[in-house]
Chain A
Amino acid sequence: MNGLAAAETHPVHVLVVEDNEVDAKLVRLSLLGVSAWDVDFERVGDGEEAVRYLRHQGLYASKVHPDLVVLDLNLPKLDGTEVLRTIRRDPELRNLKVIVLSSSPMDVIEEKVRDSEVQPDCYFTKPLGLDEFLALGATMHRCYLESGGDNQTLGAGV
């Protein structure tokens, strides 16, 4: 869909589900660092809020529908895997791009994903070190494109 008129496009809406403020900031910095990508951000601090946001409940009634969810696994209240399961089993949300970003090692993430019986589009371990974390932005961008996402998206959020 590249090449559509600018008037008809909007930035890619990213919902960051992350209880750790420092990590949330770094996700934002790393995605902003990808020059080819036009993104804007919303953040929620636990799994329950994430589900409420995605279903536009309460405070989130007028929020734009995200194109991409960057999901931590170890969250207060609902776990990241439970949020992922909710997304994949909801016909309205099923096709949402989801990138899992957890401080657990890769094998632990894989195990948790397997146990949840649903798949994210990609998953990564949060790297130790600022440069490495910032470099993750490009990787997440590539993952987003490979799973069918666009740099810019047609139409407004629901």
Chain B
Amino acid sequence: MEHLPLAVCVCDSEGRTIGFNREAKRFFNAQAAEREFWNILPEADRAGVHGSFAAAVGEKTTGRWTSAIGHSPRFEITFAPMVLPETPAEGVRERLWQVTLRTLPPPTDSHKLWREEGTRARRRAEQEFSFHFQLTRNITEQAVDPIFVVGGRGEIIFCNPEAERVFGWQREELIGRSLHETLHHETGEGDAFPVQQCPLFRAQTTGAVVRGLELIFFHRNGSPIHVSCSNSPLYFEDEEVGAVLIIRNISRQKAIERALAQSEERLRVAVAAAEIGTWDLNLNTGEVSVDEKCRQALYLDAGGKDLVTSWLRAVHPDDRNLAKKQIEAALDLAGDGQFRLECRTLGRSSRRPNGSVHHVQAQGQAFFEETAAGRRPVRLIGTIQDVTGRKHDEDSLLRANNDLQQFAYAAAHDLQEPLRNVVNLLGLYKRNLSGQSLIEGGDLIDASMEDARRMHQMVRDLLSFTNIHQSLDSANSIADANSVLKDVRRNLATIISESGAVIHAYQLPKVRMRPTHLLQLLQNIISNSLKYRRPGLPVEVRISARRRGAEWLMSVADNGIGFDPIYAQKIFGVFKRLHGRAEYPGSGIGLAICARIVHTYSGKIWAEGKMGEGATFFFTLPAATVNGS
């Protein structure tokens, strides 16, 4: 006992001990816990210590008691309220006191000197205590985060003003209550939250350290508050007496996160619905980041490095200069940074069969940085969209308009001609009957009947021309050109055998179209070859096909009279003819029908020829299969 170091214990305001340090445990003894600490002291000192302590508690200040001389060993006891800045309301028992016991040396000659030194040391300690008290008080009072101190049973023994504000309670109401049951009683889903399951409670009662634990607390009015908790055990001397809990209110941050996530989700849905891809070019590093849709639009392989080059390679050769020019224009320091490009792209990777041409529309915005060295572009960001479908729609609309115009012209002009002829021929016939003969000859009736028949034929031709559109819905059927050609041979059998024509055709493909359309197409072209033959020369027709990407390029070549190349376009017009009717009969709609059929399937048709050297008709049709033949 002579050399006992400082013994310290914590007690409540009734003097009942709550905790001891190692030395105090030794000094008092284990069985002494939860008893008034003076009862452990020598009998003679008990009343005195009790009285001094009660006085200190009454005045809420530090107190001291020194044992009577003659005792051995002599000791001194000091009482100090715990470093808890606010004095609890009257009647609240959970006020803690620190009780420090030290032994005193026996009185000697140097006793006076010792006492003076002891007084100085005590004053220093008191100043230090006062400083720390103020510091702690300021920190907790001014803190922008709620701070709680809880005892070993999870009860609140302290909270700061911010805690009052955030959770809507008064400090006096909170002290002594269970933190969990008061502020953390439900899960975020509105279910009861038993304290046994609470990770924070577990940490507080096991002395674990917790950082940034995200939980949902509740305001007094029941509204949830997202919080991030940091909890650390509170030691007094070596004894754990509770835990300090610092809470960060992250409701606002959570709300922003939620709003951001929602708005990102909305944007993602909108972008996905609009089939828009996005890309982002970092001009400092040359790196491009693209999303999946953009990859699809440009059918880049995943993980490409130099995407600008890859992208330009994907652009149709005829459009590459335009693409480069548009990028340069967007990065022009004097410009507004706007980027806009509509171009064709080419199949390059495994994502699409080679040779298929797609139309894409890209737009973006360049961002510039002002540096000491001047303005420079740092970023080009934008969207890309595959507009092939729309482009096809536009094209077919354009063609439909053109067809309508041709149709209207044909109705207004070409159909009038035979009608006028009939009227005029009958007029001449009438004059003949009345003796005012203007023209000799009795074939006026035959001629007018011929014109009436011709008009009838033209009306029928026009109907079959306009009908082609209405069959578009069956574009998924497959036509085998070999069997269709057999039908053509059968239909034209008479004229083929009369003219001694030979039709050469090798392995012909299957194409994605209605067989009746392919029949009309081939039959019209082959009929032309048979009709416009060179006198004295047996007709030879060669039909061949070549795969071009997703299409077949077919050709029908003959050894007939050919045509002047300047009329290569005109011959596909409705009722357009290169020859007088007397020379070669026909209304002139055959090739117009061919063109309309090919265009219906998004193909192209053209003719090459020379006067007297035969003609070749080319047309493209969609292949029945995606790969190979």
Q: A residues bordering B, Cβ < 8 Å?
A: 19-23, 25-26, 29, 45-46, 48, 74, 76-77, 103-105, 108, 126, 128-131, 133
Q: Tell whether A131 pairs with B427 under 8 Å between CB atoms, given A25-B439, A104-B412.
A: yes
B428 adjacent to A130 (CB under 8 Å):
yes
Q: Within the assembled complex, what's the spacing in Å between the Cα atoms of A130 and B430?
A: 10
B427 touches A129 (CB 8 A): yes
- Report how many A-B pairs have Cβ atoms within 8 Å: 60
Minimum Cβ distance to chain B for residue A50 (Å)? 13
List residues of chain B with CB under 8 Å of any chain A CB. 412-414, 416-417, 419-421, 423-425, 427-428, 430-431, 438-439, 447, 451, 564, 567, 577-582
- Whether the pair A130, B431 counts as a contact (CB closer than 8 A) is yes
A28 to B423, CA, bound (A): 17
Who on chain B is nearest to A76 by CB? B577
Instruction: For the complex formed, measure the closest distance between the CB of A53 and the CB atoms of chain B, giving whole angstroms.
Output: 15
Q: Closest CB of chain B to A131's CB: distance in Å?
A: 7
Q: From B412, B417, B567, name the one whose CB has the most chain A CB atoms within 10 angstroms.
A: B417
Closest 4 CB pairs of A and B: A130-B427, A22-B421, A45-B580, A76-B577
Given contacts A76-B578, A77-B567, 4 further A-B pairs with CB under 8 A are: A77-B564, A77-B578, A104-B412, A128-B420
When the two chains form their complex, are residues A76 and B416 in contact, meaning their CB atoms are under 8 A apart? no
Contact between chains at A74 and B447 (CB < 8 Å): no
The chain A residue sitting closest to B563, CB to CB, is A77
Shortest Cβ distance from A82 into B: residue? B566
Asked if A103 and B579 make an inter-chain contact with CB atoms under 8 angstroms apart, the answer reads no
Q: How far is the CA of A46 from the CA of B451 in the complex (A)?
A: 19
Please name all residues of chain A whose beta carbon is closer than 8 Å to the beta carbon of B438 when the two chains form the complex.
29
25 interchain pairs, CB-CB under 8 A: A19-B580, A20-B417, A20-B421, A21-B582, A22-B421, A22-B424, A22-B451, A23-B420, A23-B421, A46-B579, A74-B413, A74-B417, A76-B577, A76-B579, A77-B564, A103-B417, A104-B412, A108-B412, A126-B420, A128-B419, A128-B423, A130-B424, A130-B427, A130-B428, A131-B427
What A residues does B431 contact at CB under 8 A? 130
Q: Does more than half of chain A's interface fall in helix, strand or loop, or is it mixed?
A: loop
Let me know if A103 and B420 touch, CB within 8 A: yes
CB distance from B173 to the nearest CB of A (A): 93
Contacts of A105 in B (CB 8 A): 412
Q: Say yes or no: B427 contacts A103, CB within 8 Å.
A: no
CA distance A152 to B414 in the complex (A): 36
A48-B611 Cα distance, complex, nearest whole Å: 13
Closest Cβ–Cβ distance, residue B556 to chain A (whole Å)? 22
Question: Complex: how many Å from CA A25 to CA B430?
Answer: 16
Q: How far is the CA of A128 from the CA of B421 in the complex (A)?
A: 9
Report A-chain residues with C-beta under 8 Å of the C-beta of B581. 19
User: Are B414 and A74 interface neighbours, CB within 8 A?
Assistant: yes
Candidates B417, B423, B580; contact of A129 at CB < 8 Å: B423
What's the nearest-Cβ distance from chain B to residue A19, in Å? 6
The answer to whether residues A22 and B413 also contact, given A103-B420, A126-B420, A130-B431 and a CB cut-off of 8 A, is no
Residues on B with C-beta less than 8 A from A46 are 578-580
Complex Cα distance, B588 from A76, in Å, reads 10
| Residues of A contacting B577 in the complex (Cβ-Cβ under 8 angstroms) | 76
- For residue B412, which residues in chain A have a CB less than 8 angstroms away from its CB? 104-105, 108
Give the chain A neighbours of B419 by CB distance below 8 A.
Answer: 128
Contacting residues, chain A, for B425 (C-beta < 8 A) = 22
Q: How far is the CB of B471 from chain A (nearest CB, A)?
A: 30
B424, A26: Cβ atoms closer than 8 Å? yes
Which single residue of chain B is at the shortest CB-CB distance from A134? Answer: B438
In the bound complex, what is the Cα–Cα distance between A23 and B577 (angstroms)? 18
Q: Would you give the shortest CB distance from A63 to chain B, in whole angstroms?
A: 19
Cβ–Cβ contact A22 & B579, under 8 A: no
Task: Specify which of A22, A77, A131 lies most central, judged by the most chain B CB atoms within 10 Å of its CB.
Answer: A22
Contacts of B582 in A (CB 8 A): 21, 45
> Which residues of chain A are within 8 angstroms of B416 by Cβ–Cβ distance?
103, 128
Instruction: Chain A residues near B567: list those with CB within 8 A.
Output: 77
Cβ 8 A contact of B413, one of A23, A76, A103: A103
Tell me the smallest distance from the CB of A77 to a CB of chain B, in Å.
Answer: 5
Check B439–A76 contact: CB distance below 8 A: no
Report the minimal beta-carbon distance from B280 to chain A, rounded to whole angstroms: 50
Chain B residue at smallest Cβ distance from A105: B412
Least CB distance from A22 to B in Å reads: 5
Residues of B within 8 A of A45 (CB): 580, 582
Residue on B with the closest CB to A26? B424
Chain B residues in 8 Å Cβ range of A108: 412-413
**B436 → A minimal CB distance (Å):** 11
Report how far A108 CA is from B416 CA in the complex, Å: 14
Least distance between B605 CB and chain A CB atoms (Å): 20
Chain B residues whose CB sits within 8 angstroms of the CB of A29 once the complex forms: 438-439
Beyond A22-B447, A29-B438, A104-B412, is A130–B417 a contact (Cβ under 8 Å)? Answer: no
Which chain B residues border A104 with CB–CB below 8 Å? 412-413
Please name all residues of chain B whose beta carbon is closer than 8 Å to the beta carbon of A77 when the two chains form the complex.
564, 567, 578
- Alpha-carbon distance A126/B423, docked complex (angstroms): 12
Residues of A with C-beta under 8 A to B423: 128-130
Q: Choose one: B421, B447, B451, B580; the contact of A76 (CB below 8 Å).
A: B580
Contacts of B451 in A (CB 8 A): 22
A105 to B439, CA, bound (A): 28
Assembly CA distance A104 to B420 (angstroms): 12
CA distance A105 to B427 in the complex (A): 22
From B420, which residue of chain A is reached at the shortest CB distance?
A128
Report the bound CA distance from A53 to B22 in whole Å. 133
A128 to B439, CA, bound (A): 19
